[in-house]
Amino acid sequence: MEIIIVILGLILDRVLKIWSLNYLQKVNEINVINNYFSFLFVKNKGAAFGIFQNKVIILSIITSIVTLALIFYLIKYRPKNKLLRISLSLIISGAIGNLADRVYYGFVVDFISLHYKTAYYFAVFNIADSLVVIGTILLAIYILKEGK
């Protein structure tokens, strides 16, 4: 199950990033829901919310270590809890997706823009970011539920 989650997440992330690079980059922005949601091409040379700008090597090393640790944990301990396995698989998938961008392009391809008119813009993100966030939320639920 974990391998399927990781592979499906990587495929979805990769396909949309390729679309973003090949099409969205040329038009820059596609308005989907006026004043709320658009596809906006961004080259992110940092981490979440633009922190650690131009620290591609450090971010790649940290991501690699964390991802390998999570994979090692799943293989060695084979946790029985389904929620834990799913959450870690989502985090691994998203981490690999963004790591691949950093290594191959020197930046992460972001393209999902949520905003309220021109008053508020949330940080532009991608599918890999979403996988990491969803996986982290599920992991937090698991930890709270299990009391660990």
Enzyme catalytic residues: 110, 129
Dist CA 74 CA 85 (whole Å): 7
Buried-exposed string 61-70: b where 16+ CB fall within 10 A, e elsewhere: eebeeebeeb
CA–CA dist 114, 140 (Å, integer): 24
Evaluate the CA torsion angle 106, 56, 40, 134 in order and state its sign: positive
